[in-house]
Amino acid sequence: MNIVVLAGGISTEREISIVSGTQVCKALRSKGHRAILIDVFCGDGRIDQDIEGTFSEEYDVDQAAAYARSFDGKLEELKKRGSFFGPNVIALCQKADTVFMALHGANGEDGKIQAVFELLGIPYTGSSYLGSALAMDKDLTKQLFRENGVPTPRGIVLRKGNPVLSPSENGVGLPCVVKPSRGGSSVGVSIPRSDTAYYKAVEMAFSYEDVLIVEQYISGREFSCGIVDGEAYPVIEIAPLQGFYDYTNKYKAGSTVETCPAKISEELSKKIQKASLDAYHTLHLNSYGRIDVMMDAQENVYCLEANTLPGMTPTSLLPQEAAVLGMDFPALCEKLIEVSLRDNMS
Ligand SMILES: Nc1ncnc2c1ncn2[C@@H]1O[C@H](COP(=O)(O)OP(=O)(O)O)[C@@H](O)[C@H]1O
Ligand SMILES: [Mg+2]
């Protein structure tokens, strides 16, 4: 197939997305697909005439990634042009048989590009615009979880400009978790244990966004569970050596022990898988996704959030779960395309 792997963009997860995109593009090429890596925001201004010819057998993925990264310092300047999509991006996506979404965060994982592609008739991987938009918003996610009986930590919403009540008055207490409502990769997330730390955490999170979640801290073990095509994959346990699963622990090799299948009873594993499936359906997700889960000492399970475009390097969580099922990374990439194309048709 001719495939555009879309990566980059302007979210706080731009860099991670280029890493995911590079790996996905290489994996798809190893399966014989003519996949090309394109930065959704920076595009490829070097292609002018023969767009079809760009899906060639000879292609250097690392060079394409380097080209995307060459724009890193120029994003603010480029934003002035107004339109989000970079040169040739839409034309290339229209020429491709499908678009693999290797984007993370705002303008990629939040449903906007999905909505554009639906209107343009461009097939793409992952959830539709509605599920993507719901899952991106942790406030709406938690409201839907609560209304549909999906267990989630108690929490409140803070809006910039409104008074910030102290932890003893806000109904959540300490320690708690402060996070931007529409963030990802733990950017802006902190776990304050004192009033002073709480106000600092709120200020820091407001530097990213105007809406925050303040959530009950769940002390215990952390898990994640991928869902592909309506099937819950083996549960993976995430145990950072220090602190919580913050940005560094997510992306610095060796900083977190990830165990799949998680060393828990069959019963507990089923409980996490069921909560994850419920979370997935509640948010109207389709094709695939990954649910983050905490478990307390009493083995109560809490869904934190859904990732509609989870990390996709060979060592990312979902690929590790697929490996337990005997599916290697290139096979998983192909499977995600296959289930998404089928969902797109229906
Ligand atoms: N209520 C909570 N209790 C304990 N830890 C939490 C809680 N919420 C978030 N965390 C920690 O913060 C990390 C990031 O939070 P999450 O809600 O998954 O947002 P993100 O979209 O940034 O991944 C989690 O993986 C977990 O380690
Ligand atoms: Mg998360």
Q: For residue range 330-344, what is the model confidence (pLDDT) as tens digits?
A: 999 999 999 999 987
Residue 345 has pLDDT above 80, yes or no: no
Distance CA 183, CA 227 (A): 21
Mean pLDDT of 223-229: 98
Asked whether 32 and 57 are in contact (CB, 8 A), the reply is no
Distance CA 174, CA 110 (A): 31
Asked whether 289 and 227 are in contact (CB, 8 A), the reply is yes
- Full-model pTM: 0.96
Distance CA 102, CA 37 (A): 9
Nearest CA to ligand 1 atom 22: 186
* 291 Cα–ligand 2 center, Å: 8
Q: What are phi and psi of 98, to 5 degrees?
A: -160, 160
Which strands make up the sheet holding 2-7, listed edge to edge? 34-39, 2-7, 98-101
Mutate to test the pocket of ligand 1, among 176, 179, 317 (most ligand atoms within 8 A of CB): 179
Please give the pLDDT value at position 106: 87
Asked whether 9 and 108 are in contact (CB, 8 A), the reply is yes
- pLDDT band for 36, please (50, 70, 90 cuts): very high
Please give the pLDDT value at position 146: 98
| Secondary structure (DSSP) of 265-279 | -HHHHHHHHHHHHHH
Nearest CA to ligand 1 atom 2: 217
Pocket of ligand 1 (CB under 6 A): 153, 177, 179, 183-186, 189, 215-218, 222, 244-245, 292, 294, 304-305
The SS3 call for residue 47 is: coil
Distance CA 256, CA 240 (A): 4
Residue 210 has pLDDT above 70, yes or no: yes
* 246 Cα–ligand 2 center, Å: 9
Q: For residue range 245-256, what is the model confidence (pLDDT) as tens digits?
A: 999 999 999 999
Residue 346 has pLDDT above 70, yes or no: no
- pLDDT band for 51, please (50, 70, 90 cuts): confident
Domains of the chain in start order, with CATH, are 2-124 (3.40.50.20), 154-216 (3.30.1490.20), 220-328+339-345 (3.30.470.20)
* 57 Cα–ligand 1 center, Å: 42
Sign, CA torsion 134/92/24/319: positive
Return the percentage of the chain with pLDDT > 90, whole number. 94
- What is the C-alpha radius of gyration for the chain, rounded to an integer number of angstroms? 20
Closest by alpha carbon to 283, among 123, 143, 102, 112? 143
Which ligand minimizes its atom distance to the CA of 212?
1
Q: For residue range 107-142, what is the model confidence (pLDDT) as tens digits?
A: 999 999 999 999 999 999 999 999 999 999 999 999
Which residue numbers are catalytic? Answer: 13, 185, 251, 290, 292, 305, 307, 311
Please give the pLDDT value at position 12: 86
| Residue 80 CB partners (closer than 8 Å, separation 6+) | none
Q: What are phi and psi of 39, to 5 degrees?
A: -80, 120
Q: For residue range 269-302, what is the model confidence (pLDDT) as tens digits?
A: 999 999 999 999 999 999 999 999 999 999 999 9
Mean pLDDT of 95-108: 95
